[in-house]
């Protein structure tokens, strides 16, 4: 349950609960899975990248443009985005956000 609304999860689901949302697990059910808690600053590089893409995708068409904006190397940015995409596509089907 998230914010007093029942959520159906199946194997492979990802449930994202944002700060300030209320969550409750029915402990009578036989739950198997993971709870991963991330501090907000952990996601800052990903949020910055997403914002850069949303604002500049019409003009920036090279990884180098985004890497320069984010003060990282092209290789690091390519590796990070590839790993995230691969993780989301292959590991978390179906994905619930």
- In a domain, residue 57? The reply is yes
Q: Does position 86 have pLDDT exceeding 80, yes or no? A: no
- In a domain, residue 46? The reply is yes
Q: What are phi and psi of 2, to 5 degrees?
A: -130, 125
* Cβ atoms of 82 and 88 closer than 8 Å: no
This prediction has a pTM of 0.52
User: DSSP labels for 3-33?
Assistant: TTB-----TT------TT--B---TTS----
* Cβ atoms of 1 and 7 closer than 8 Å: yes
- In a domain, residue 53? The reply is yes
Q: What is the pLDDT of residue 87?
A: 58
- State the total domains in the chain: 1
CA distance 50 to 85: 13
- In a domain, residue 4? The reply is no
- In a domain, residue 47? The reply is yes
- In a domain, residue 97? The reply is no
91 closest CA partner among 37, 11, 8: 11
* DSSP assignment letter at 95: P
- In a domain, residue 82? The reply is yes
**Confidence class for position 85, pLDDT limits 50, 70, 90:** low
- In a domain, residue 69? The reply is yes
Q: Does position 95 have pLDDT exceeding 50, yes or no? A: no
pLDDT in tens, 23-46: 888 778 777 788 888 887 887 888
């Amino acid at each position: 349950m998230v914010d007093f609304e029942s959520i159906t999860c199946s194997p492979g689901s990802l449930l994202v609960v944002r700060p300030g949302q209320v969550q409750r697990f029915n402990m009578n059910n036989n739950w198997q899975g993971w709870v991963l808690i991330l501090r907000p600053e952990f996601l800052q590089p990903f949020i910055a990248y997403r914002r850069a893409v949303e604002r500049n995708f019409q003009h920036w068409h090279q990884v180098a443009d985004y890497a320069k904006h984010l003060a990282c190397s092209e290789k690091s940015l390519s590796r990070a985005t590839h790993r995230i995409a691969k993780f989301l596509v292959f590991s978390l089907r179906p994905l619930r956000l």
